[in-house]
Amino acid sequence: MNAGHSESMGGVPADPSGSAAQGAEAAVAVQQAAGSDPYFPDHGDARYRVHRYELALDYRPAPNRLAGSARINAIAGRSPLAEFMLNLSDFKIGRVRVDGRPAHYTHRGGKLRVRPAKSVRSGAAFTVEVHWSGNPKPVHSPWGGLGWEELEDGALVASQPIGAPSWYPCNDRPADKASYQISITTPSAYAVVAGGRLLTRTTKASTTTWVYEQAAPTSSYLVGLSIGKYQTVLLGDPGPGGVPQHGHIPAHLLPEFSRDFARQPQMMELFQELFGPYPFDEYAVVVTEEELDVPVEAQGLSLFGANHVDGARGWERLVAHELAHQWFGNSVSIADWRHIWLNEGFAKYAEWLWSERSGGRTAQQLAAAAHRLLSSLPQDLRLADPGRKSMFDDRLYERGGLTVHALRCAMGDEAFFRMLRGWAGLHRGGAVTTSTFTAHVNRFADEPLNGLFDAWVYGAALPALPTAIPARPTHPPTNTGTVQP
């Protein structure tokens, strides 16, 4: 059990959102404190942290050929770096330089070990350049292939949790968050969609180069990418100060997409009301021609399969789920994978909040259904540390949502939503742990909620269904939204 869960500060702070300086300090502190991920000890190197990646890629879909160069700006930790490691799959390495000087390296088993010509001083900034080429393919995992996936006509990247090294060299651990600039050259028939702001699109002869900038701190697994033949549409009119939202879909799926995603702008409005300002510059959704088991979130971007578009809003809860991850999981990230319930529990509860506020079943009704389901399943999963084999277990999602609901019932709506907005605001761009969250909640609660956390987060047996929230009127959307080409 994590002893930090018993921490309490009592009362409601005058400034629940905290300050940007506090958030930045907290983010750096967690990044520096986070060691090797216990679930994936071969991924990431805690001896340094990356500040920025600049990737220049050339991809040819027909032969599935990728050539790339990376410029990585990093900062050494508390000890000098005579050697460090990047994660990168089985590509041919062209050259590796550190601070402009050739470096010795070895590359095997997905690890690129680099030995600079001169050790990097503790706390010093340094730059790594890597050139690589080859045929990208998914990383093997207990959940199938992860990362770069060649499609029948294009490619997509869905990296959670360890797929990022399938296409670029990275310090592959979720606490190590950096800004990104990604330049991708492809045949001009293809569109490239990445998370972030499109800076330029330049066509020369038969190829086009797309340059995206993601300024917000981003975990390596959350760098999303899709290459395909898409039609781009605007989801609603963001208006002054609004969030630009675009869809990229195969043209023949546009009628179904126009209905299935029409209410996403209203979800955005609701989640900003409940969670605080949207944490990035814009939001994009991509629907691929192929089927996906589940949609996948990336920073400022979500990827859906053609099977998630039916023209009947049959998968609308997943539209809400992926959008909510932009706050919970992407902006506020986890320090390591033991804490994944903080991502999935909030995204699950966002589904229930959207249902409740759009005229569907209430959060209490959905919580009761989840509770009935969990009561019929084995009760041997602990949210605080589910184990690698169970980190994507359906029980974690449902119990995570129930835990958030239990907090709402215990705190009442006013304090609960103040707590939620404070959590998203204070830790924006940072990385957190379960003990960080329990301490945060206790700042907003009338009395310490350690018993609730003991039962729901640190215990395995399923507690009783939380007490119902007093009914309040819902306000169903008055229109169906618009999708503009």
pLDDT digits (tens, 9 = 90+) for 111-152: 999 999 999 999 999 999 999 999 999 999 999 999 999 999
Helix, strand, or coil (residue 83): coil
The domain spanning residue 18 has which CATH number?
1.10.390.10
Cβ partners under 8 Å of residue 311, min gap 6: 255, 256, 259, 260
Whether 482 is in a domain gets the answer no
Whether 40 is in a domain gets the answer no
Is there a single domain that holds both residue 265 and residue 135? yes
Which residues are known binding-site members? 321, 325, 344
Is there a single domain that holds both residue 293 and residue 320? yes
Whether 407 is in a domain gets the answer yes
Q: What is the mean pLDDT of the chain?
A: 91
**Of 39, 212, 278, 397, catalytic:** 397
Is there a single domain that holds both residue 52 and residue 165? yes
322 in catalytic set: yes
397 in catalytic set: yes
**Of 316, 322, 351, 356, catalytic:** 322
Specify the DSSP element, H or E, that contains 52.
strand 48-60
Q: What angle do CA 151, 152, 155 make, to 5 degrees?
A: 25
Whether 479 is in a domain gets the answer no
Q: How many whole angstroms separate alpha carbon 303 and alpha carbon 296? A: 5
- The last residue of one of the domains, among 324, 348, 368, is 324
What are 218's two structure tokens? 């981003």
- The last residue of one of the domains, among 303, 324, 345, is 324
Q: Name which of 332, 342, 340 is nearest 280 in CA terms.
A: 332
**For residue 427, what are the CA distances in angstroms to 16, 29, 49, 90, 220?**
11, 12, 18, 35, 18
Is there a single domain that holds both residue 153 and residue 179? yes
DSSP assignment, residue 455?
Answer: I
Is there a single domain that holds both residue 305 and residue 349? no
Instruction: Tell me the H-state helices in 206-246.
Output: none
Is there a single domain that holds both residue 253 and residue 282? yes
- The last residue of one of the domains, among 300, 324, 348, is 324
Domain span at residue 102 reads 48-324
Whether 468 is in a domain gets the answer no
pLDDT digits (tens, 9 = 90+) for 294-318: 999 999 999 999 999 999 998 999 9
Is there a single domain that holds both residue 59 and residue 189? yes
Is there a single domain that holds both residue 418 and residue 319? no
Number of domains in the chain: 2
Q: Which of 33-37, 369-373, 397-401 has the lowest mean pLDDT?
A: 33-37
Residue 11 has pLDDT above 60, yes or no: no
Which residues are known binding-site members for Zn(2+)? 321, 325, 344
Is there a single domain that holds both residue 318 and residue 336? no
Q: Which of 19-28, 357-366, 387-396, 419-428 has the lowest mean pLDDT?
A: 19-28
Cβ partners under 8 Å of residue 157, min gap 6: 147, 148, 149, 163, 166, 167, 223, 224, 225, 226, 298
Is there a single domain that holds both residue 282 and residue 165? yes
